[in-house]
Chain A
Amino acid sequence: MRGWFERWFGGLIVVASAVAACLVFSVIPVSGQAPAPAYKAPRTKDGKADLNGIWEAIDTANWDLRAHAAAQGPVLSLGAEFSIPPGPGVIEGDGEIPYLPAAAEQQKKNFANRLALDPEVKCYMGGVPRSTYMPYPFQIIQSPKTITMHYEFAGAFRSINMEKPTEAPADSWMGWSTGHWEGDTLVVVVTDQNDQTWFDRAGDFHSNALKVTERYTPRSTDVLMYEATIEDPKTFSRPWKISVPLYRHVEKNAQIMEYKCNEFAEEVLYGKYRKQSSK
């Protein structure tokens, strides 16, 4: 049983904390509005922000971009190991994906059949932006004319052209990436993706009219802010935006390893065609 002193003292701590919090919170926004005392990233030899490194998102965006509570996973036998961890969501503004009515219906169908339909289950390349926040690392290799991104999942690869834009030869899974610098921010416009990739495991999808504008901004030595503005007039009523921090793998032995997952998807994709034992 707690005595009056403890109650009083406990209350004091609460009050003190609240006062301290007010002070802190009231100070930060003011200094945040000062003319960009922003972090200045290390430079490459040609003077650009150095984004080289192995990066990975640590959140639940790949499960569902929207805020979501914990839930039973789609494979009951995996119990707690593959159930859905909760997440506060990564969509800016109202936190919603502004689907057109027909697309909203399609997303519900996708969700209901996600175990059969999610391209991740089949080891298909993740597309953009999903590849960025899948639970696998990716590596940025930066040179003045070209920046390449190498994703561990499905060995996906894309090459960002930093020179004069060129036309995509065809639609593709990883799209056609054209980049430029805005200060320390690498801005990449991704077009010409096919309509086969999803945004997450919750059935969120797009058409082949998708345009993604990505912004990679160094926030500190080991944190890279990733923002992606998504436009697709065939699927959404307005552009919307996600924001996901990426963290640097600082382990000395960090490396992108082989995740040739098509081998692991063969049973799912082709098991029904396997020769049945006739012995």
Chain B
Amino acid sequence: MNHRVLASTLAAAVLLAAPLFAQAPAASTKTAPAAAVKTPAAAATAIPRTADGHPDFSGVFSNASAVPVARPANCGTKEVYTPEDLAAGMGGARGCGAAAAGGGRGGAGRGGAGRGAAGRGAANIDPETGQPALQVHYDVSQFGLDATHATRAASLRTSIITGPEGKLPPLTPEAQKRQADLRAYNAQHQWDGPESRPLGERCIMWPAEGPPMMPEGYNSDLQISQGPGYVAVTQEMIHDTRIIPTDGRPHLPANVQQWFGDPRGHWEGDTLVVETTNFTNRTTLQQAPTTDKMKVTERFTRVDANTVKYQFTVDDPGTWTKPWSGELNMTKIDSPLYEYACHEGNYGMANNLSGQRAVEKKAAEQK
């Protein structure tokens, strides 16, 4: 029984911790905010190239970012900070406000015992024994999962989403209904079986894996491989690879749908443009259940020896009232991709479901 409590607590700790990492302030980035978002073409000579002359994207990159997906309201239509803004304490989730309100600069994302179950002290009572439960903690810094360990690409953007609004467009009425139906179903059935658990828990895909590929909060590393006619992007999260043919072939037939869609790439000058279609209607993007008509266009541009500018547009008329676009930087890191054997090590699924069955059994006995 203790194992189940432990596993559930760990799972909860990770879920709770993830948003904290994503909101870590810009001031804690390891890299200086020097590489501007709109680097002029002057750096073109410095980018690495493959033998066939295309920009060479191969290597391991981090897309960890302190930039929030949606723009903090206090930034208005301001898309880019100046270095002076950052020096004055703006940035990250604090947006364009003063530093004082946010407090704890560099503190968020350190995680550690205080954020785990142990921090709740005496309140953590094992329901079965009535005794204080095993004092578990999830020291994220110990495992290098916290944002302070991640190398983050510099960016002066106020939000990943581009444009004057800097946030997701409204959902269509149909999408609102789908979202409400999904939430209502989950409220009743989320513990029924493995297929009613979130895709991330099932090791099918993490919420931010995309495409568009967004920072995950942790494990935000990806490896790009490049050969004649192909570029492959492997995300460390769950070990998912998107193999992108660049030979001009057509998409798979429309009836063939894949979790990550079916990507096709082509070169526009030094930019790799990837169009992905053939999605399922079983995924969500930014909490919205998307449709199989979604199309995602990504643009990869080598800005300098260490940076890839990643731009994207999501077009799903069945979900959002208009297309939306974003931009972030990936930075090269000196590290291999680690193998994330998510499904192979998914003890949480069995523990969560069997734990829920035990709860139900106990409730039935007490009636």
A residues contacting B by CB (< 8 A) are 44-46, 52, 123-125, 139-143, 145-146, 148, 150, 154-157, 159, 161, 166, 169-170, 172-174, 196, 252-253, 255-258, 260, 262-263, 265-266, 269-271, 273-275
Within 8 A of A (CB), among B302-345: 336-339, 341, 343-344
**Are B204 and A172 in contact, CB atoms less than 8 angstroms apart?**
no
> How long is the Cα–Cα vector from A174 to B340 in the complex, in angstroms?
10
**Are A169 and B241 in contact, CB atoms less than 8 angstroms apart?**
no
Chain B min CB distance to A219 (Å) = 20
- B135 close to A (CB within 8 Å): no
- B230 close to A (CB within 8 Å): yes
> How long is the Cα–Cα vector from A256 to B56 in the complex, in angstroms?
22
A156 cross-chain contacts in B, Cβ below 8 A: 239
**Contacts A262-B343, A273-B353 given; does A257 touch B232 at CB 8 Å:** no
Classify the interface of chain B: helix, strand, loop or mixed: loop
**Are A275 and B258 in contact, CB atoms less than 8 angstroms apart?**
no
**Contacts A174-B339, A258-B258, A269-B350 given; does A44 touch B243 at CB 8 Å:** no
**Are A46 and B58 in contact, CB atoms less than 8 angstroms apart?**
no
B230 cross-chain contacts in A, Cβ below 8 A: 52, 139, 141
Q: How many residues of B contact A (CB 8 A)?
A: 48
**Contacts A150-B232, A260-B259, A275-B192 given; does A253 touch B240 at CB 8 Å:** no
Chain A min CB distance to B125 (Å) = 25
**Are A159 and B223 in contact, CB atoms less than 8 angstroms apart?**
yes
Between B202, B204, B344, the greatest number of chain A beta carbons within 10 A of the residue's beta carbon is seen for B344
B337 cross-chain contacts in A, Cβ below 8 A: 159
Within 8 A of A (CB), among B51-94: 51-52, 56, 58
**Contacts A45-B51, A169-B338, A263-B204 given; does A150 touch B343 at CB 8 Å:** no
**Are B343 and A273 in contact, CB atoms less than 8 angstroms apart?**
no
Closest residue to A277 on the B side, CB-wise?
A: B192
**Are A46 and B51 in contact, CB atoms less than 8 angstroms apart?**
yes
**Are A270 and B193 in contact, CB atoms less than 8 angstroms apart?**
yes
Contact with A along B228-268 (1 / 0, CB 8 A): 11101010000111010100010010001011100000000
Given contacts A257-B256, A262-B346, 18 further A-B contacts (CB under 8 A): A44-B228, A140-B227, A141-B227, A143-B50, A145-B58, A148-B225, A155-B241, A156-B239, A157-B241, A170-B338, A173-B341, A252-B249, A256-B243, A266-B194, A269-B194, A270-B194, A270-B350, A274-B353
> How long is the Cα–Cα vector from A143 to B343 in the complex, in angstroms?
29
> How long is the Cα–Cα vector from A159 to B234 in the complex, in angstroms?
10
A150 cross-chain contacts in B, Cβ below 8 A: 232, 234, 241, 243
B residues contacting A by CB (< 8 A) are 50-52, 56, 58, 191-195, 202-204, 223, 225-230, 232, 234, 239-241, 243, 245, 249, 252, 256, 258-260, 336-339, 341, 343-344, 346, 349-350, 353-354, 356-357, 360
Chain A min CB distance to B161 (Å) = 28
A170 cross-chain contacts in B, Cβ below 8 A: 338
Chain A min CB distance to B340 (Å) = 9
B339 cross-chain contacts in A, Cβ below 8 A: 172-174
> How long is the Cα–Cα vector from A145 to B360 in the complex, in angstroms?
55
A143 cross-chain contacts in B, Cβ below 8 A: 50, 56, 58, 225-227
* Contact among A44, A142, A157, A260 for B204, CB-based, below 8 A: A260
**Are A253 and B249 in contact, CB atoms less than 8 angstroms apart?**
yes
> How long is the Cα–Cα vector from A196 to B227 in the complex, in angstroms?
32
A-B contact pairs, 11 of them (CB 8 A): A45-B51, A52-B228, A143-B225, A148-B232, A169-B336, A252-B249, A257-B252, A262-B202, A265-B343, A266-B194, A273-B354
**Are B227 and A266 in contact, CB atoms less than 8 angstroms apart?**
no
Chain A min CB distance to B47 (Å) = 16
**Are A273 and B336 in contact, CB atoms less than 8 angstroms apart?**
no
Chain A min CB distance to B184 (Å) = 17
**Are B353 and A270 in contact, CB atoms less than 8 angstroms apart?**
yes
Closest residue to A173 on the B side, CB-wise?
A: B341
B50 cross-chain contacts in A, Cβ below 8 A: 45, 143
Chain A min CB distance to B189 (Å) = 8
**Contacts A156-B239, A159-B337, A273-B193 given; does A141 touch B225 at CB 8 Å:** yes
A146 cross-chain contacts in B, Cβ below 8 A: 58, 225
> How long is the Cα–Cα vector from A208 to B201 in the complex, in angstroms?
28
Between A154, A256, A262, the greatest number of chain B beta carbons within 10 A of the residue's beta carbon is seen for A262
> How long is the Cα–Cα vector from A123 to B346 in the complex, in angstroms?
12
B227 cross-chain contacts in A, Cβ below 8 A: 52, 140-143
Chain A min CB distance to B115 (Å) = 25
Closest residue to A51 on the B side, CB-wise?
A: B227
**Are B225 and A263 in contact, CB atoms less than 8 angstroms apart?**
no
Chain A min CB distance to B299 (Å) = 21
Chain A min CB distance to B338 (Å) = 6
Closest residue to A47 on the B side, CB-wise?
A: B51
B341 cross-chain contacts in A, Cβ below 8 A: 124-125, 172-173
**Are A275 and B357 in contact, CB atoms less than 8 angstroms apart?**
yes
> How long is the Cα–Cα vector from A157 to B344 in the complex, in angstroms?
14
A124 cross-chain contacts in B, Cβ below 8 A: 341, 343-344
Closest residue to A258 on the B side, CB-wise?
A: B258
**Are A266 and B239 in contact, CB atoms less than 8 angstroms apart?**
no
> How long is the Cα–Cα vector from A141 to B231 in the complex, in angstroms?
8
**Are B260 and A270 in contact, CB atoms less than 8 angstroms apart?**
no
**Are A123 and B193 in contact, CB atoms less than 8 angstroms apart?**
no
> How long is the Cα–Cα vector from A195 to B353 in the complex, in angstroms?
27
Closest residue to A261 on the B side, CB-wise?
A: B343
**Contacts A125-B341, A262-B343 given; does A44 touch B193 at CB 8 Å:** no
**Contacts A125-B344, A273-B357 given; does A255 touch B336 at CB 8 Å:** no
